[in-house]
């Protein structure tokens, strides 16, 4: 499944290079929350983090002709957000005239750690995005806490069979959210086969 998602991403990347706005929308929706989250790790300020994230797309879109792979676009977006977030922190420090050491202020996180964090949450957030709140709750509880059906039922005051149904539906929805991208891939394969 990962392979299909990769192909889908790379197809959008080629459209991105062509300046296709559908591709811009795809990447925006795919990465905006994660990039804002990444910036937030450094700036600790939500409005600024979100602004930096949206500006990153503006900058990357200006050079769309240079980028033609999913990984390349992702890496470049994170790179820009990282740079702009550091800039924002430094200018904030200058304004507030406090000499806090960036390192000791938060944790001993390296850029690698920040990137892994945002990416992990992005992957899980995306997978859960399309579920209804009720199903989401159940799936999260199952994933995170490894709780058995009985334990979840007790906690939510529901009958175990309801939990089982919610879990099953939750998984089915997750499965469904893979079918759409696969159809896109199929569509693109046909397009490529016919030579655009």
Partner 1 sequence: MKENRYSDMDNAASRTAYLIAGFIRHTLTEKEHDELDNWVNESDHNMQLFEDLTDEKNLAANLEWMDKVQTEQSYRAMQEKGAFKAPLKKFYNKKIWLAAASVIVLLGVFFVYRYTTSKPGSVEDIVTTDTTLLKPGGNRATLTLADGRVIDLTYAKTGAIESDSGSHVNKTADGELVYVKDSSATNTAALHTLSTPVGGQYQVTLPDGTKVWLNAATTLKYPPAFSNNERTVIITGEAYFEVAKNERKPFRVLMEDSTTVVVTGTHFNINAYQNEKEQQVTLLEGSVTVSNATNVTKLEPGTQALIKNKLITKDKVLDADEITGWKDGLFVFHDATIESIMMQLERWYDAKIIYKANIKQLFNATILRKEPLTKVIKLLELNGYVHFKIENNTIYVLP
CA 37 to CA 120: how far, in whole Å?
A: 11
User: Exposed/middle/buried for 26, CB within 10 Å: 0-12, 13-18, 19+?
Assistant: buried
Minimum separation from the CB atom of position 25 to partner 1 (A): 7
By beta-carbon proximity to partner 1, the closer residue of 34 and 88 is 34
Interface ranges with partner 1 (CB under 8 A) = 2, 10, 17, 21, 24-25, 28-29, 32-34, 36-37, 40, 46, 50, 54, 57-58, 61-62, 65-66, 68-69, 71-72, 74-76, 78-79, 108, 110-113, 115-125, 127-128, 140, 143-145
By beta-carbon proximity to partner 1, the closer residue of 101 and 195 is 195
How is residue 183 written in tokens? 């159809």
Place of tokens 């000791």: 104
Give the closest residue to 85 by CA, choosing from 32, 27, 36, 31.
36
Minimum separation from the CB atom of position 48 to partner 1 (A): 13
Measure Cα distances from 53 to 45, 96, 129 in Å: 12, 23, 20
By beta-carbon proximity to partner 1, the closer residue of 17 and 85 is 17
By beta-carbon proximity to partner 1, the closer residue of 24 and 86 is 24
> Could you tell me if 122 and 37 are in contact, meaning their C-beta atoms sit under 8 angstroms apart?
yes
Measure Cα distances from 194 to 57, 98, 130, 186 in Å: 31, 62, 33, 12
Minimum separation from the CB atom of position 157 to partner 1 (A): 20
Minimum separation from the CB atom of position 84 to partner 1 (A): 15
By beta-carbon proximity to partner 1, the closer residue of 58 and 190 is 58
By beta-carbon proximity to partner 1, the closer residue of 33 and 160 is 33
Minimum separation from the CB atom of position 191 to partner 1 (A): 15
> Could you tell me if 65 and 17 are in contact, meaning their C-beta atoms sit under 8 angstroms apart?
yes
Minimum separation from the CB atom of position 81 to partner 1 (A): 12
């Amino acid at each position: 499944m990962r392979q299909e998602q990769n192909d889908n991403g790379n197809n959008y990347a080629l459209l991105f290079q062509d300046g296709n706005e559908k591709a811009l929308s795809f990447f925006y929706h795919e990465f905006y929350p994660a990039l804002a989250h990444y910036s937030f790790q450094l700036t600790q300020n939500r409005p600024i983090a979100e602004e930096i994230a949206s500006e990153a797309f503006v900058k990357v879109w200006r050079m769309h002709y240079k980028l033609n792979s999913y990984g390349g676009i992702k890496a470049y977006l994170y790179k820009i957000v990282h740079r702009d977030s550091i800039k924002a922190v430094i200018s904030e420090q200058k304004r507030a005239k406090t000499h806090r050491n960036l390192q000791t202020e938060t944790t001993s996180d390296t850029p690698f750690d920040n990137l892994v964090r945002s990416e992990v949450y992005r992957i899980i957030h995306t997978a859960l995005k399309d579920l209804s709140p009720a199903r989401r709750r159940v799936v999260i509880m199952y994933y995170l806490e490894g709780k058995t059906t009985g334990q979840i039922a007790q906690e939510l005051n529901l009958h175990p069979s309801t939990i089982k149904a919610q879990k099953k539906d939750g998984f089915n929805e997750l499965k469904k959210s893979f079918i759409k991208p696969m159809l896109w891939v199929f569509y693109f394969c046909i397009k490529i086969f016919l030579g655009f």
